[in-house]
Structure 1
Amino acid sequence: MVAPAVPEITEEVLHESIDARTDSLIALRELGPPDLVHLLRQPVRNPGKHIGVYHHVTGVDASSSASLAAYINTLTYREHGQPATTKIVEGLYCCYNAFSRLDMRVHVTIPGTVESYCVDERGEKKKTTDELWLETYLCSVLRAYSYADDGSGETIRKIMGVRRFNPVTNTETEHKFLSAAEQLFFKGWQLGSDAVVQVPTTVSNHLTAGLLKYFHTTGRYASGVNLFEKLRTQNVEVSSLLAKVLFMGNEEVDAVRVLHEALKESPMDYVMLDTQAEFLLKKAETAATPEQREERLRMALGCADRSTIAAPSEFGTWARLAQVYVAMEDWENALTILNSCPMFNYQDKDAPVMPEPKDIYLPTLPETRLDEIDSEPEARYSEQIDPSLLNLRAANYRGTFKQAYSLLTEMTAKIGWDQLLKIRSNVFVMEDEYRNERQEPVSYPTKRNASTDALRGTPDLPPTNGDATDDEVTGKDEVASEKSKQDDADSANTSNLTTNGQTNDNLERPSSAVDPGDVKKSDGENGSNEDGHLSRLNNKRLCERWLDSLFMVLYEDLRVYTIWRTQMAQYRAQSMQYKKSAEEWELLGSLAERLQHTDEAVEAYRACLSQRFSPKALSGILKVFEKNKNTRETVAATIRLVTWQYRWYSEFSPELLHTIRTLIEDEGAVKVRSIIQATNLPQNVLDLTHHYAALCATFRSSGTDG
């Protein structure tokens, strides 16, 4: 298998990329940025001059200085038959150790010596040790999985010029990875955790997330069971991870037994309770009878409710409880619990912050040549985009806000916008009610909980949002301002989305709910600390300002979506073609997918693909192909996505590998290889996908032995 091409970014000032990386070490909060490879090039005809170039990489074996030096040596042989105008005389490989917060560095002189050292947050040099290399190796594998692209291209586009390799390609490297994970398992909390986990724990951190993603991707469940069986003898909390792997492998009876025994010993372990609730929710979806579904949901409710008591500050426990209520169609409780979710800042993955480059070279290998993919960049650059589609804030949600918004859209998809607004006004104190009732006395219930605490006047929360901007969490004044601005902008926005002067914008804009900050403000104005103005509203909640903002954002999504669908219907009725640019179709597909209108999303994504290639659109359609078991369409989409990834220097996407593995499990390796080979595409392109299938055979995945 040929390696991806090597992108090169040329420095304006020699070594400025290394200096920038050193300066950024103190600000790193996650697993660290991709590895940096800096090369010193010397023109053949001018030996006294040096040119600094660099690229980034993930998935390279970082277990020793020798393995990193070997990677640099491979770069010296990459020119294929072309007379070299420069030669590499030095190389520096930088790989971040997130455990010890050190940047491990290997300096290679060609020809000559290899020197390894590490740099701390202050930029001071230190000696390396075997323990530090073990930590560095494990971090590099976790980065390769965590920072890999999911097929949509969004991760690839975030950082320019990153080569992505598969860090675990056979059972031997798997043993090496799992051995390192076992040795460092109980230090995993030091790495931090996913954006939706407030406090990293032994079983909720980047290490455990990486391990679970590895087992999910490769199907190596037996290896996962062996690892967690050993680790749970040291800590019963690991039982939740063991159960998750058993569930992945469809060993449901064993998984339930593991959870049952572990919860006897640790009855308030919130991860185990949440794992039970998640399992029961899935079983409710496949229940044979309504009675069976109701029973399973009732049990899921008990587990989810108990997990919120065990971990009241974790978003995931409250979100799961809201999810159960949605499944039970108990909309008022679902909205109440959603309002109780603790929200916190989204911490994005560490990314390199580099100076403006002097030059950028992004080569293409002949093996990745495919006309429909090669023409994509030029087509994207020339497209016009409707501003109203670009300004939909929900598209930028991440972390807790993205999940909360997903729950809100699920409710809307099931009961409709009008009904959601009615439930909202039943649950929360609305602005007009507050104005009318604020002067009347109030008596409060003595029982307090996360949902009703706000009635006593909770302190203002610190600014929190899903994308580190002020847009996602809107204060009361901002919501009011937004409403007045919206009145002025409605006609302009509508005209942007219409071409024939007709609209069907009949969505009711949500009136603002009262938040705790307003209650406290009015108390101050009245000179009273007593909440004596909510007499008839004491059984209602005060809506958190972030949730109030989500309703406004959802309204905007639904408004644009409704106009789009109305226009489509009008054009079809007149036998006219509805025209949008490929980028606009991609955004409309994303909008429909966000609102959980799958058929409409596929329709928009297909319209996008009819004009140009789009990895985001194709990966959106691929999800539907996989769900509907459309084997040939799944293979055709996967081949193109694998090729696009490889074109941009990525030979490894866990999601695409999982897709191929699942196909082979369902259809058998022989049939899948035959379908790949029968596709009317160049052989060099087909070989890239054959490589993924070969990985499944190496790991002896189910279906590869027939």
Structure 2
Amino acid sequence: MVAPAVPELTEEALHEAIDARTESLASLRELGPPDLVHLVKQPIRNAGKQIGVYHHVTGVDASSSASLAAYINTLAYREVGPSATTKTLEGTYCCYNAFSRVDMRVHAPFPGSVECYCVDERGEKRKATDELWLETYVCSVLRAYSYADDGTGEMIRRIVGVRRFNPITNTETEHKFLSAAEQLFFRGWQLGCDSLVQVPTVVSNHLTNGLLRYFYTTGRYASGINLFEKLRTQDVQVASLLAKVLFMGNEEVQGIRVLHEALRETPMDWVMLDTQAEFLLKKAETAPDREQREHRLRLALGCAERSTIAAPSEFRTWARLAEVYVALEDWENALTTLNSCPMFTYQDKDAPVMPEPRDINLPTLPETRLDEIDSEPEGRYSEQVDPSLLNLRGAAYRGTFKHAYNILTEMTAKIGWDQLLKIRSNVFVMEDEYREKQDQQNYPKNRNASTDALRGTPDPTTNGDGEQEQEDDAANGSDSDTIAHNLTPGYKPEDLERPSSAMDPDEVRKDEEKSTTDDHFSRLNNKRLCERWLDSLFMVLYEDLRVYTIWRTQMAQYRAQSMQYKKSAEEWEILGSLAERLQHTDEAVEAYRACLAQRFSPKALAGILKVFEKTKASTRDTVAATIRLVTWQYRWYSEFSPELLHTVRKLIEDEGAVKIRSIIQATNLPQSVLDLTHHYAALCANFRSSGTDG
């Protein structure tokens, strides 16, 4: 298999990339940035000049200094020959150890002996030991999965010049990794955890997430079961991880038994309770009848409620409870529970902080040449985009806020915007109600109903991330007219195109006036105060729905007049993402197809592929989309994407390896392009995945 091309970023000053990495070590909080490879080169025609070039890489075997030195050698001797314009004088490989918080470095001069050492957060040199190399190896594999692209291209575009390799390509390297992970398993909490978990634990951290993702991607469930069975004998909490792998491998009965036995020993383990609730929620979706579905959801409700008691400060427990209420169509409790979720500031992955390079060279391998892909960058930068589409803040949500927004959009997709507003007014104190009660109780004149009643506690603290952006949103009004006024300058109710199901607040006010004053205040006292972050989500949701409705209305009008509705490819991509965010799958696919009709877009194609996988509509279309995404990834130096490997594995599992290989080969594309996808199929054969026999 041909290796990806080598991108090169040229330094302004020699070794400034390594110096910048050393300075950033103290600020790293997660798994660390991708590995840095720095080369000092000398032009053959100018022996007195030295040039510093570098690139980033993930997935290289970091179990010893020898393997990293070997990678430097492949780069140094790649340019040897009569056509070479430079020669490599020395190379340095930097790989971060997140356990001990040191940067492992291998320095290889040409010619000369290899020097191995590590640098701590203070920039001081230390000796590299075998224990440090073991930790570094595990971290490098976890980073390879963490920094891998999901097919959409977002991770590839985030950091320029990263080569991505598959760290585990066969059963031998798998055994090596799992053995190392087993030795360090109970120190995994030192690596931190994902953005949905507040406090890392033995079973909720980056190491366990990486292990679960590996088993999910490759289908090596037996290896996962063996690993967690051994670890469970040392700590009963590991039963939750064992159960998850058993569920992945369709060993559901055994998985339930494992959880049952473990919960008898530790009945208030929130991760196990959450695992049970998640399993029951999924089983309810496939229930044969409504009665079975209701029964499973009631069981899930009991587990989810207990998990919130066991871990009241964790977001995941409350979010799961809200999801169960949504499945039960108990909308008021769903909204109340969502309002109770503890929100955390999103902690992004550690990214390299480098000085501006003097020059960037991003070469293209001939094996990845495909006309529709090669034309993508030029078309992308020449497109015009409507400012209203660029300012949709729903697309920027990450972590807990993104998850909470998904729950809110699911409710909207099921019951509509007007019904959601009615439930909101039943559950939370509205601005008019608060003003009325404020007048009755003679509250101080300087208190603001918008910030007091609607946004949580009367003091300015928030149950959220406390960022200025969220606080600015919280200062806006609460009902739908107020939201529209704040989002649209010069707003007039008769002029603004509302979401098609928007409720008229006047009707709500008329209904409220029918009740007596005493009953009104009795109801008001039972209502909740809406958290600032949730009120902000409502405003963002309103804006998403407003733009979506304008788009669909205009399209309907153009079609009625047999006219073509024109948008740029970038605008179609944004509209597809908007429809997907609002859980309108058909409309999302329609927009993504319109985008692809104008130019190649990995995000649009990945969105369509996701639907293909879910509906299993056309194997050939799924394969065609996968081939193009694999080629685009390889074009940008990534030979490994866990999501695409999982897609190929599931195709082989459903259709058989022979059929999938035949469909790939029958595609009317260059053989070098097809070989890239054949490589993914070969990985499945290495792992002896289901469907590869014969």
TM range (shorter): over 0.9
- Tell me the distance in 1 between the aligned counterparts of 2:640 and 2:153: 12
Residue 517 of structure 1 is matched in structure 2 by none
Are residue 647 (structure 1) and residue 635 (structure 2) matched?
yes
Shift of 1:209: 0.2
- Tell me the distance in 1 between the aligned counterparts of 2:455 and 2:681: 58
Residue 655 of structure 2 is matched in structure 1 by 667
Corresponding residue SS for 2:258: helix
- Tell me the distance in 2 between the aligned counterparts of 1:570 and 1:74: 60
The one of 451, 473, 477 equivalent to 2:475 is 477
The one of 589, 592, 612 equivalent to 1:625 is 612
Q: Give yes or no for contact 2:56–2:161 (8 Å, CA) kept in 1.
A: yes
Q: Give yes or no for contact 1:188–1:205 (8 Å, CA) kept in 2.
A: yes
Once the two structures are superposed, residues 99-118 of structure 1 have per-residue CA deviations (whole angstroms, 9 ceiling, x without a partner) of: 00000000000111100111
Q: Could you say if the C-alpha distance between residues 454 and 372 of structure 1 is closer, same or farther in structure 2, counting changes exceeding 3 Å?
A: closer
Once the two structures are superposed, residues 70-108 of structure 1 have per-residue CA deviations (whole angstroms, 9 ceiling, x without a partner) of: 000000232386611111110000000000000000000
Shift of 1:627: 1.1
- Tell me the distance in 1 between the aligned counterparts of 2:406 and 2:632: 29
Corresponding residue SS for 1:538: helix
TM-score (norm: length of structure 2)? 0.93
Residue 266 of structure 1 is matched in structure 2 by 266
Corresponding residue SS for 1:488: coil
Residue 415 of structure 2 is matched in structure 1 by 415
TM-score (norm: length of structure 1)? 0.91
Q: Give yes or no for contact 2:297–2:328 (8 Å, CA) kept in 1.
A: yes
Q: Give yes or no for contact 1:618–1:637 (8 Å, CA) kept in 2.
A: yes
Residue type at the aligned position of 2:686? T
- Tell me the distance in 2 between the aligned counterparts of 1:456 and 1:250: 43
Q: Could you say if the C-alpha distance between residues 642 and 27 of structure 1 is closer, same or farther in structure 2, counting changes exceeding 3 Å?
A: same
Are residue 690 (structure 1) and residue 688 (structure 2) matched?
no
Q: How does 1:364-383 map to 2 (within 5 A)?
A: 364-383=364-383
- Tell me the distance in 2 between the aligned counterparts of 1:636 and 1:57: 28
Structure 1 stretches of 4+ moved >6 Å = 453-456
Residue 449 of structure 2 is matched in structure 1 by none
- Tell me the distance in 1 between the aligned counterparts of 2:454 and 2:589: 42
Which residues of structure 1 form unaligned runs of 5+? 443-452, 496-502, 512-532
Residue type at the aligned position of 2:58? T
Q: Give yes or no for contact 2:106–2:116 (8 Å, CA) kept in 1.
A: yes
- Tell me the distance in 1 between the aligned counterparts of 2:418 and 2:462: 32
Residue 217 of structure 2 is matched in structure 1 by 217
Q: Give yes or no for contact 2:10–2:360 (8 Å, CA) kept in 1.
A: yes
Residue 234 of structure 2 is matched in structure 1 by 234
Residue type at the aligned position of 2:649? R
Q: Give yes or no for contact 1:437–1:535 (8 Å, CA) kept in 2.
A: no
Q: Give yes or no for contact 2:470–2:532 (8 Å, CA) kept in 1.
A: no
Shift of 1:476: 3.5
- Tell me the distance in 2 between the aligned counterparts of 1:638 and 1:489: 47
Which residues of structure 2 form unaligned runs of 5+? 443-452, 506-519
Residue 635 of structure 1 is matched in structure 2 by 623
Residue 517 of structure 2 is matched in structure 1 by none
Residue 556 of structure 1 is matched in structure 2 by 543
Are residue 679 (structure 1) and residue 677 (structure 2) matched?
no
Q: Give yes or no for contact 2:322–2:338 (8 Å, CA) kept in 1.
A: yes
Corresponding residue SS for 2:526: coil
Residue type at the aligned position of 2:597? S
- Tell me the distance in 2 between the aligned counterparts of 1:592 and 1:456: 30
- Tell me the distance in 2 between the aligned counterparts of 1:440 and 1:508: 31
Are residue 546 (structure 1) and residue 533 (structure 2) matched?
yes
- Tell me the distance in 2 between the aligned counterparts of 1:28 and 1:392: 30
What is the root-mean-square deviation in Å for CA atoms of aligned residues? Answer: 2.1
Residue type at the aligned position of 1:477? A
Q: Give yes or no for contact 2:455–2:535 (8 Å, CA) kept in 1.
A: no
Shift of 1:439: 4.4
Q: How does 1:150-161 map to 2 (within 5 A)?
A: 150-161=150-161
Q: Give yes or no for contact 2:428–2:454 (8 Å, CA) kept in 1.
A: no
- Tell me the distance in 2 between the aligned counterparts of 1:486 and 1:624: 32
Shift of 1:538: 1.6
- Tell me the distance in 2 between the aligned counterparts of 1:325 and 1:463: 21
Q: Give yes or no for contact 1:28–1:350 (8 Å, CA) kept in 2.
A: yes
Residue 203 of structure 1 is matched in structure 2 by 203
- Tell me the distance in 2 between the aligned counterparts of 1:632 and 1:596: 25
How many percent identity over aligned positions?
79
Residue 93 of structure 2 is matched in structure 1 by 93
Residue 509 of structure 2 is matched in structure 1 by none
Residue 171 of structure 2 is matched in structure 1 by 171
Residue 285 of structure 2 is matched in structure 1 by 285
- Tell me the distance in 2 between the aligned counterparts of 1:318 and 1:389: 32
Residue 516 of structure 2 is matched in structure 1 by none
- Tell me the distance in 1 between the aligned counterparts of 2:58 and 2:187: 22
Shift of 1:470: 3.2
Residue 657 of structure 1 is matched in structure 2 by 645
Once the two structures are superposed, residues 246-303 of structure 1 have per-residue CA deviations (whole angstroms, 9 ceiling, x without a partner) of: 0000000000000000000000000000000000001111111111100000000000
- Tell me the distance in 2 between the aligned counterparts of 1:426 and 1:301: 22
Q: Could you say if the C-alpha distance between residues 457 and 12 of structure 1 is closer, same or farther in structure 2, counting changes exceeding 3 Å?
A: closer
Residue 5 of structure 1 is matched in structure 2 by 5
Residue 513 of structure 2 is matched in structure 1 by none
Once the two structures are superposed, residues 522-577 of structure 1 have per-residue CA deviations (whole angstroms, 9 ceiling, x without a partner) of: xxxxxxxxxxx965412100000000000000000000000000000000000000
Residue 510 of structure 2 is matched in structure 1 by none
Shift of 1:505: 5.8
Shift of 1:45: 1.6
Q: Give yes or no for contact 1:283–1:296 (8 Å, CA) kept in 2.
A: yes
